[in-house]
């Protein structure tokens, strides 16, 4: 049975594993650490966070931020700082090193946005093993309800060719910016990643 519930701190490990599977990482310690750090980064300013579970197992997550109000989740920030300190003691694999320019790319794309948005969809992912069951649509629908209740009329998100970005086009979102990069997910094929920004207006 599929259920949507608020995200708990104890979900962090499961979500990191989902990110590893989605990005085709092999689950090594440094890559799992990267996934945990990315999750915490998405939670730093989050005002909305829901997970989908199937028979109690975490199958997907959606995290968003209300940009009209300032949110600082200090517990998350402190955990993120601790993980960054821990990262210094773990040798960086090729994939992790290759993503060092991602933040600059995303900043460049955001500069191309035509207006300020009310909200940002920070993270939206469904575990590969649970795709095709409507879980993503259920999470997205709950997010739309949240936006309406909070009177947030516009939102944007970052995505790339390593994700199911066409889902957003199916939902009517518009591609606002894109940029090809030399980043890659899998060490085996080094397939370059293209970054996108989508918005609902």
Q: Output the domain CATH number for residue 143.
A: 3.40.630.30
Q: Given phi > 0 = left and psi -120 to 50 = alpha, else beta, which region is 163? A: beta
What is the C-alpha separation between 41 and 77, in angstroms, rounded? 8
Q: What is the pLDDT of residue 97?
A: 47
- Domain total for the chain? 1
φ and ψ of 163, to 5 deg: -120, 170
Write the DSSP string, 31-60. Answer: HHHHHHHHHHHHHTT-SEEEEEEETTEEEE
Place of tokens 């790319």: 105
What is the C-alpha separation between 199 and 174, in angstroms, rounded? 5
Note the residue count of the chain: 201
Whole domain around residue 9: which residue ranges? Answer: 2-199
Q: What is the pLDDT of residue 187?
A: 47
Q: What is the pLDDT of residue 81?
A: 56
What is the C-alpha separation between 33 and 22, in angstroms, rounded? 15
In this structure, are residues 197 and 113 in contact, taking their beta carbons and an 8 Å threshold?
yes
pLDDT along the chain (201 residues), means of 10: 95 92 64 80 93 97 94 62 54 50 77 86 96 95 98 95 90 93 62 89 90
């Amino acid at each position: 049975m599929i259920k949507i519930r608020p995200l708990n701190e104890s979900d962090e490990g499961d979500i990191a594993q989902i990110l590893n599977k989605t990005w085709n990482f092999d689950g090594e310690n440094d890559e799992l650490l990267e996934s945990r750090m990315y999750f915490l980064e998405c939670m730093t300013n989050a005002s909305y966070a829901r997970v989908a579970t199937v028979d109690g197992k975490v199958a997907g997550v959606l995290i968003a931020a209300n940009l009209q109000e300032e949110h600082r989740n200090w517990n998350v920030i402190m955990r993120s700082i601790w993980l960054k300190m821990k990262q210094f003691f773990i040798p960086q694999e090729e994939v992790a090193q290759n993503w060092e320019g991602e933040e600059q790319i995303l900043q460049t794309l955001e500069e191309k946005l035509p207006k300020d948005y009310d909200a940002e969809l920070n993270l939206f992912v469904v575990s590969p093993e649970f795709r095709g069951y409507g879980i993503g649509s259920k999470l997205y629908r709950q997010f739309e309800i949240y936006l309406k209740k909070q009177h947030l009329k516009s939102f944007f998100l970052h995505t790339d060719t390593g994700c199911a970005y066409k889902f957003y086009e199916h939902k009517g979102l518009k591609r606002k910016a894109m940029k090809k990069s030399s980043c890659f997910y899998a060490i085996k094929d080094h397939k370059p990643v293209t970054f996108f920004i989508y918005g609902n207006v």
